[in-house]
A and B are shown apart, each in its own frame.
Chain A
Amino acid sequence: MFDFLEPFFFGLFALGIIGAGAAVVTLRRITAQALLMALTFACMAGMFLLLGAETIALFQVLIYVGAITILILFGVMFTKVDDRGYGLFFQQQTPWAAAVVLVIALPVAFLALSFHDPITPSAKGGDLIPLAASLFTDYSFPFEVASVLLLAALVGAIVLVKRDDQ
């Protein structure tokens, strides 16, 4: 009797994702854009919940909302962005870009809608155990590589931002 919930939430999240995403692309107030991006991420987490991937959803919130958005806000606050209306707030290439993107996007979306297989949430017990299992057995080497990548990013970021005079 609750099976109307899933499509309902799906619609809600889809609306949030697309609306907020479009706003991020088009808006001019950068803090608003950051916040809306956070909203997009949150709705994306909802999508993951719908797909029965609650661990992924929580990671999504933890990393994107909790960390990446903050970092971006950091960037926003450090780089004082003056919304002075440059003559072209968009690139000159906007029409081209729009055309190309549309030409790609429409067929892809059309193609995507042609998958009719239903999504049924995964088995009981959630995706934590399976995820951990496959992450630490089959994908342990990529896992290590990812850790190395993170370390490199850490060091690189520090080196880039570090001022030389101190």
Chain B
Amino acid sequence: MPIGPFGIDPTIWAVLRLVIAVGLAVFLVLNGALAQIFLERKIQAVMQDRIGPYHTGPFGLLQTFADAIKLLSKEDIRAKLTDAPFFLAAPAIVFSPMLASFVVLPFGPDFVGANLNVGLLYLTTLGSMTVLGVVIAGWASNNKYSLMGGLRSAGQLISYEVPQILGLVTVVLYVGSLSMVDITNSQPGLLVNVLILPFAFVTYLIAALAETNRNPFDLPEAESELVAGFLTEYSGMRWAVFFLSEYGEVTVVSAIMATLWFGGWHGPGVDAVPILGVLWFTLKTYAFVLLFMWIRATLPRLRIDQLMGFCWKVLIPLALLNILASAVIILVFADPRLPLAVTNWLLVAGLIIGLPFTQRRRLLRFRSRTRDSVGLRDARSGLSP
């Protein structure tokens, strides 16, 4: 009988890997969410010079479990005027694509639910589906703030899908495959893609922040202005599902970044002990999760017009430029790595150096428009990022 990986019959292995993948997915989502909530609290506490949860359990480890139980045991409240079927459907619509997208994440060598040759496209597609859920939630809540949140998120998510996909396209151009496994295998050594395509990475990182409604792009659920936007009317388990899927989304985009730009499960000792790959992959993923938390603790929230303007006037043009340059380079050079790296790093430098100038022009324009101090104060607040 034929021998597959780990000396298991391939047909059984085919089923088994699916089981493993789904198991990992659920593990990552549920425990991951819990862990992330804990981490978030702790890290924010550290950054804000607080202590954070410490009563329940050692270092307050059990705090999040307590919260989870509280949420589970809460009464299921649905406002009278909400649009029942959509109100109920929305969390599922948000949650299921996120869960499904775990299927193609390459946790380790041969630890892939399904190695689609269009895996990346699959992930993008599922990512775009969550928008629907959010909009529906906002609409079904039959609440001004929720509707605003829904509309905002619709605009924001659709807009930021563009730079997100554009960022991926560059990598796909360079690697020449949409399959996550191929992309992982294409960067075994230390020369991971981020060294070659940093600008694509930056583009994707920013877009991913917006896609997952994280700071500084968390307008759809802005507590201070929209009383949590489309989440206003949700409570209990549904609210928890929303948050689960948010953290899941964060995990997914982090995993995508880890795979595309940081060599996925590659790392010391993987060739000897394949299972180590899972460890590396998880570590890299969580590094990005921590990065997200750091950003959240650092940056204030943007204004909606700044958000859109940044996406359409800065991010997308630069990403398109990047794609054009990369395509030409890949077409021209036999070994495109060095020129690609040069152009990409130049673009990154341009972005970092250029942004303050654009902001200064905004400020001057604003000053010329409004003379009074109020206008100036608004201008400063508008300048925040």
Interface residues of chain A, those whose CB is within 8 Å of chain B, are 31-32, 35, 38, 54-55, 58-59, 61-62, 65-67, 69-71, 73-74, 76-77, 125-126, 128
Interface residues of chain B, those whose CB is within 8 Å of chain A, are 83, 85-86, 89, 116-118, 121-122, 124-125, 128-129, 131-132, 135-136, 139-140, 147, 150-151, 154-155, 157-158, 161, 178
- With the chains together, A29 CA to B92 CA distance in Å? 21
Contact count A vs B, C-beta below 8 Å = 67
Asked if residues A66 and B147 are in contact (CB atoms below 8 Å), the reply is no
- With the chains together, A21 CA to B116 CA distance in Å? 30
Q: List 23 interface pairs A-B (beta carbons < 8 Å), by A numbering.
A: A31-B140, A32-B85, A32-B86, A38-B132, A55-B121, A58-B121, A61-B128, A62-B128, A66-B125, A66-B129, A66-B158, A66-B161, A67-B158, A70-B132, A70-B157, A73-B132, A73-B136, A74-B155, A76-B139, A77-B139, A126-B117, A126-B118, A128-B118
- How far is the CB of A125 from the nearest CB of chain B, in Å? 7
The answer to whether A35 and B118 touch (CB under 8 A), given A61-B125, A74-B154, A77-B150, is no
Contacts of A65 in B (CB 8 A): 128-129, 132
| Chain A: CB-nearest residue to B140 | A31
Contacts of B151 in A (CB 8 A): 74, 77
- With the chains together, A14 CA to B139 CA distance in Å? 29
- How far is the CB of A59 from the nearest CB of chain B, in Å? 8
| Chain A: CB-nearest residue to B117 | A126
Asked if residues A69 and B132 are in contact (CB atoms below 8 Å), the reply is yes
- With the chains together, A32 CA to B161 CA distance in Å? 25
- With the chains together, A55 CA to B158 CA distance in Å? 20
Contacts of A76 in B (CB 8 A): 139
Contacts of A62 in B (CB 8 A): 121, 124-125, 128
- How far is the CB of B215 from the nearest CB of chain A, in Å? 23
| Chain B: CB-nearest residue to A69 | B132
- How far is the CB of A129 from the nearest CB of chain B, in Å? 8
Contacts of B116 in A (CB 8 A): 54
- How far is the CB of B87 from the nearest CB of chain A, in Å? 11
The answer to whether A31 and B86 touch (CB under 8 A), given A54-B116, A70-B131, A125-B117, is yes
- With the chains together, A55 CA to B86 CA distance in Å? 29
Asked if residues A61 and B154 are in contact (CB atoms below 8 Å), the reply is no
Contacts of A74 in B (CB 8 A): 151, 154-155
- With the chains together, A71 CA to B135 CA distance in Å? 10
- With the chains together, A125 CA to B115 CA distance in Å? 11
Asked if residues A70 and B125 are in contact (CB atoms below 8 Å), the reply is no
Asked if residues A58 and B161 are in contact (CB atoms below 8 Å), the reply is no
